Structures are given as structure tokens and as C-alpha cells.
Structure 1
Amino acid sequence: MRQEIRICGFGGQGVITASVILGKAAAVYDNLIACQSQSYGPEARGGAARAEVIIDDKPIGCPGVHVADILIAMSIEAFTRYGRDVKPDGTIIIDPDLVVIPDLPERAYPIPATRIAENLGNTVVANIVMLGAVTAITGVVSEEAIHASTIKSVPARFKELNERALAAGIAAGHELKGLGRG
């Protein structure tokens, strides 16, 4: 059941926060085993950011992701760098407003997370929209677990906004999956 997930984009998009929330959803709320690692450029905002989560029901011996089962790309630079490092039957989730590619692979799901977050009132929750979408599309963690982990991980004053972002991402993921995309 091992799932290797890479979330990538640029600093300021909440890539690392998303990976921590996803790992916590798996380990704390779905009673799985998870490990998380991260890497980012020297710039606080705008530099490259990558975070990885491995989820398994058995002990994790090697914590590195070499070829992902799931890739979430939130910038074209991230997709260009990591888009090839996905298993042939893996899932790719992109923000099509930021990752513009001419031929979207059949196994790719375009989730306009930044646009959805903007419509909710704050683009800072685009990462939470993506977490909802990846949960709905892949089932890598349960919807209950991602909800509980998100709510426990965000400041109380942003709880309602994050709940709406998560619900919007789950809805967008279910809609695309229902259309047979991927």
C-alpha cells in the first residue's frame, strides 16, 4: 500500500504545510505510518519548494521519494523538474493556471487551486484546496482524516476558510474523477 507523494511549487504556496498536514492525516487519523521530508531554496518566498510524504501500512525503511506515485505540482518550474519522476501508472495533479503544458497526460488532473482559493477570498489556501483534491482523487487518506488534520493544523481564526477550501478541493476532485479524467 506504500504511496510516495511529492508536492512541489514555489515558496509561499504552502507546499511544506500541505505535506505536514497530509502526513499527520495518515499517521494520526488513519493510523498508518508516514514520514515527511522537505527541501526549499534559499529564498523565503518565490524559490523552489518540494516536500515529500511516504504513507504505508508497514514500516518505512527508506524515507526518500525517487519516483512518485502521486505528484502535486503548483508551478511550471516544479512540473518541469519533477514531472518525469512519476510512476507510469501514477497520478499527477496540477494547478492549470500555473502549470501550463500543451499535452496534459491522461493520468493528470487539472485542479485550479489558486483560482478556487481566490474565489474563497484568499489564495493562501490553494494548498488546502490541493489536499482536498488529492484526497478525493486518490483516496491516499480518508476525507475524515484530512479534515481533522487540517483543522488541527491551522490557526483557529482561519479554520472556517480552510474548511471551505478543503471542501472545495474535495468537490473539484470528485467532479474530475466522475468525468473519468485520469
Structure 2
Amino acid sequence: MTNLNKTEVRLAGFGGQGIILAGHILGKAAALFEKRNAVFTQSYGPEARGGACSADVILSEKEIHYPRVSRPKILVLMSEEAKNTYGGLIADQATILIDEDLVRLDTVPEGCRLFKIPATRFAEKLGRTIVANIVMLGFLTAVTGVVGYEAMKEALFDSIPAGTEELNLKAFEKGYAYGKTQKSAAATQNPE
């Protein structure tokens, strides 16, 4: 579980992956469905699709005085370019989540934890690569506990187009189930 007083989260990938939507859903889950404070900012290049982009979310039990993420405690990387652009400065003991098919990262700073998921591959198996971001949100929810399962599901359904609920729920559940197994395996390997 993360520190509920203040948690900085950065999601990064390329335009067209739904990174901005994922950040929006994360912030909404905390603010509307858990009644916490949340700030959401986004950054992207001039390219409509394909360029690196990020969604930064700060979640807090207290008032948030500065809206920018400086050293994310949770870093989600969904493309190699995003890793190079947005993956530099992270908090001590950060949790890093990557789409293992799109990002190469074998070592992390001391004290940090790395979790890998084939999010895009899972989305392809569901029939639409566009839901890789939702697979990753399920994974993020399970691994970090930064927001609750029910809050994230509510925010998801509140944010997606009508008619896509079943596909998005399958994507979220796939990422969540995989995250539970990865978190359990990590706990077994590194008992605290």
C-alpha cells in the first residue's frame, strides 16, 4: 500500500495509447469515488499520435498545494521513448510498472521495485490493442493499491464510451488478476 498522505504517479507512453485517459481515470477514482484530493496534468509533444506523452496524477488525503509531479512514487512506462523522455527522476523506493513488450528495463535504482506486464499482448488477445491502457490500470490497481478496486472500476465505467463496457472490464480484470499474481510472487521472493 502506498502512503495515502501524498502519492505522485506518472503514466507515460506514446500518443494513441490512451495514457491521458488512464491518468484521468486514476484521478477520478481517487477524487470522486474515494473522496480524496487529486490533481491531474498532462504533457505531450506536437504529434497527434506516436510521440511521447505523460499523465501525472497526485493523490492526497490533504490539500495539494503544487500540481506538478516532481519525483513519482509510481512510474508506469508503456513505450521506450516515454521511458527516455519521462522516466528519469523518480522517488526513493518507487514502484515502476512497464509494458514488457514495449519497454526494455532490466535494472532499477536500489530500493525500487519493478513489475512487468505484457499489457499490449493481453489487449491484442482481447481483440483491441487500444485497451492496453486499461489492462495497465488493472495492473497498477493490484500491484500498488494506490486506489481501490471498486473505485477504479467505477471511474472506468464513468469515463469510457457506451458500448465498450464489456471489453474494458475484461481488460481491467486481466490486468488486475495478473497484478495480483505478480505482487504475490514478489512478496514471496522478497519478504519484508
By the TM > 0.5 criterion, same fold? yes
Runs of 4+ in 1 over 2 A off after TM superposition: 80-84, 101-106
Instruction: Give 2:100's aligned residue.
Output: 96
Q: Of 63, 70, 81, which residue of structure 2 is paired with 1:66?
A: 70
Distance of 1:5 and 1:180 partners within structure 2: 21
Q: SS state of the match for residue 74, structure 2?
A: strand
Q: SS state of the match for residue 94, structure 1?
A: strand
Instruction: Give 1:11's aligned residue.
Output: 15
1:65-87 Cα shifts (integer Å, max 9, x gaps): 01000000000111123333111
TM-score with structure 2 setting the length? 0.91
Shift of 1:104: 5.6
Corresponding pairs, count: 182
Answering whether residue 170 of structure 2 is matched by residue 150 of structure 1, we say no
1:13-69 Cα shifts (integer Å, max 9, x gaps): 000000000000000001110010001111110011111000000000001001000
Q: Of 121, 137, 141, which residue of structure 2 is paired with 1:135?
A: 141
- Which is further off, 156-165 or 95-104? 95-104
Contact residue 54 and residue 86 of structure 2 kept, 8 A: no
Structure 2: unaligned runs, 5 residues or longer: none
Q: SS state of the match for residue 93, structure 2?
A: strand
TM-score with structure 1 setting the length? 0.96
Answering whether residue 131 of structure 2 is matched by residue 125 of structure 1, we say yes
Q: 2:57 corresponds to which letter in structure 1?
A: V
- Which is further off, 63-72 or 172-181? 172-181
Answering whether residue 166 of structure 2 is matched by residue 166 of structure 1, we say no
Q: SS state of the match for residue 125, structure 1?
A: helix
Distance of 2:124 and 2:161 partners within structure 1: 19
CA RMSD, aligned part only? 1.4
Instruction: Give 2:184's aligned residue.
Output: 178
Structure 1: unaligned runs, 5 residues or longer: none
Instruction: Give 1:49's aligned residue.
Output: 53
Shift of 1:102: 4.0
Distance of 1:24 and 1:87 partners within structure 2: 23
